[in-house]
Amino acid sequence: MKRLLAIAALFLLMPLSAHAWWDTDWTGRKKITLDTKAAGITTDAAQVPLLVRLSSANFDFLASKEDGSDLRFMAEDDKTALPFQIERFDNVNNLAFVWVQVPKLQAGNTTQHIWMYYGNTKASAAAAAAVFDAQQFAVYHLNETQGLPQDASGKAMHASTSSATAVPSGLIAGSARLNGDGGVVLNNAALQQAKEITVSAWINAERGEGEVFSFGGLSLSLADAVPVLKMGGTTYKAAEALTLNVWHHVAVTGGAQAVLYVDGKAVANAAGLLVAGNTLRVGAGLVGKIDEVQVSGMARSEAWLAAQVQSQAEAGMLVSQGEEQTTDTSEGPNYFKATLQNLTVDGWVVVGICVVMFIVAIYVMGKKLLLLNSMERTNRTFTEEFGKVTRGLLEMGQDAKAHAGALDGLTTHKADFSSSSLHRIYAVGVAELKSRFPKEADGHHAFPVISNQAINAVRASLDAQLTRERHGLDKGMVLLTIAISGGPFLGLLGTVVGVMITFAAIAAAGDVNVNAIAPGIAAALVATVAGLGVAIPALFGYNYLQTRIKGVGADMNVFVDEFVTKMAENYGG
């Protein structure tokens, strides 16, 4: 029970406590949040290599070694080391690109994170680890200034031939330029055994024509800048063309079927089994720039590819970096924890009651806020419809049937105005009004002439319903007043009792010093803080809700006056 109350008290009092530090030899760290909800990733993805971009805007390069060899990445538990690979670490231009493998990317999550540590001058480079999973055939970062593109996946599946020329700056570090004269070619017998494949790359096309990928019976090309997927002898086009001279991520998966992805979204698919070959061509007919070519021996999921796009794009939404932390600011004694450990039983009782009051107050405020939002919205809509009805009554003359139908028209739309207090008042008024319509021999209503006394009777019914609506709006608000007035007094009671117990214990022990008094007094004050933690938000919420309730009440008063006046105008004697 104490543990449960401690957790609740921690939430209620909102203490500032730092996350444990992995290794104090590293003096700095950053929290890197992986917001899959913002990135639009709706399913989990496993073993995802994510790109972390560092620049002078988000990282102090002077706090790290000049080659970045002191960088370390830890999982969310701050204990598990994550494999990473530095593609480029340029402390002169303050730019770095680091690949980190995340074991599992959780869909629709806004709080998942990893830690990046740095600032250890004695650290040596981390041991090489597999950033790319076993299904990855090849990864070409295209950073080479000369020679053939090299495989960074660890499989040593380097390019066989290449007509690409180096570009110092690309989307991710360096890139390569293609002129439509062959591109990058990979010849490897392992490709022939592939049952599935995924080929992806970032392309910046300058012309809207040319082959992008080709592998066995599977190919991707551009036609008028529109991506065209070919499987066997059948072609499938994307719905939209690529924007020329802009970076786009394109990917093709092959297996039981072929799927084309553009910027992380599936845009076309083709039926048919993959017919593998031992040659993969990339950018054979492409004119423009290309970067980050990846080849996998499996059909990657849309979530996996979306994570690639959202972490690699300059405007990606997946990876965000927090403030830099240092050992000087992140570690220290946890005073709040020590205080709770000295809290007596009576203090826990008071804190527990305050937590219950806080939960009740939050529930009442939330429920009342939703009610008021819905009521105000439907009241506005109903007011507009009521205005149309009353204007129409003036144009109907003395056609009693038309009048009755117009008045009933709004009462039959209960579902549309289920939250409207004005609609409920109106329904009462119409029922009272129609009960005074005289009936003819055929059972139809005759046009009424209603006396002032009858109008007053209708008003009385409207006022009665208005009072009931006000009672409904005020229902539960007393719980907030109890929290506002009772919370501080309960907290004070807990503090007084705690102080009494502390002094009684000191008197019994005969040891009077600050160290003996301070812990007990601090723990006793927790009860007061808990009481104020209940009262303050309840007070703010109560005042805000009362203002809204008064506004709705004023609208109901105005409506009653308007209803009576307009009905008297139409039917008064």
Domain assignment present for 19: no
* Cβ atoms 458, 427 nearer than 8 A: no
Domain assignment present for 334: no
Domain assignment present for 364: yes
- What is the domain extent for residue 437? 357-573
**Mean pLDDT along residues 130-136:** 93
C-alpha to C-alpha distance for 158 and 235, rounded to whole angstroms? 30
Asked whether residue 58 carries a pLDDT value surpassing 60, the answer given is: yes
Whether residues 122 and 142 fall in one domain: no
Asked whether residue 16 carries a pLDDT value surpassing 80, the answer given is: no
Whether residues 305 and 452 fall in one domain: no
Whether residues 70 and 112 fall in one domain: yes
Give the Cα-Cα-Cα angle 410, 414, 419 (nearest 5 degrees): 110
Asked whether residue 177 carries a pLDDT value surpassing 90, the answer given is: yes
Q: Which residues pair with 161 in a beta bridge?
A: 185
Domain assignment present for 5: no
Whether residues 470 and 415 fall in one domain: yes
Whether residues 175 and 228 fall in one domain: yes
Query: Where residue 286 sits, what CATH number does that domain have?
Result: 2.60.120.200
* Cβ atoms 289, 176 nearer than 8 A: yes
Q: Over the stretch 207-233, which tens digit does the pLDDT of each residue have?
A: 999 999 999 889 999 999 999 999 887
Q: What is the mean pLDDT of the chain?
A: 87
**Mean pLDDT along residues 135-141:** 95
Whether residues 481 and 429 fall in one domain: yes
Of 257, 281, 312, the one marking the end of a domain is: 312
Whether residues 539 and 414 fall in one domain: yes
Rounded to 5 degrees, what are φ and ψ at 380?
-60, -45
Q: How many domains does the chain have?
A: 3
Whether residues 370 and 447 fall in one domain: yes
User: What pLDDT, on a 0 to 100 scale, did the predictor assign at position 337?
Assistant: 64
Domain assignment present for 330: no
Task: Indicate yes or no: pTM above 0.85.
Answer: no
Q: Over the stretch 442-460, which tens digit does the pLDDT of each residue have?
A: 666 667 677 888 888 889 9
Q: Over the stretch 20-56, which tens digit does the pLDDT of each residue have?
A: 799 999 999 999 999 999 999 999 999 999 999 998 8
Domain assignment present for 1: no
Whether residues 504 and 423 fall in one domain: yes
Whether residues 388 and 463 fall in one domain: yes
* Cβ atoms 326, 31 nearer than 8 A: no
Q: Over the stretch 285-343, which tens digit does the pLDDT of each residue have?
A: 999 999 999 999 999 999 999 999 999 999 899 999 988 888 765 444 556 666 676 67
Asked whether residue 515 carries a pLDDT value surpassing 90, the answer given is: no
User: What pLDDT, on a 0 to 100 scale, did the predictor assign at position 282?
Assistant: 96
What's the sign of the alpha-carbon dihedral 36, 37, 40, 44?
positive
Domain assignment present for 249: yes
Of 131, 147, 180, the one marking the end of a domain is: 131
Domain assignment present for 15: no
Whether residues 116 and 160 fall in one domain: no
Asked whether residue 509 carries a pLDDT value surpassing 70, the answer given is: no
Whether residues 163 and 276 fall in one domain: yes
Of 290, 312, 334, the one marking the end of a domain is: 312
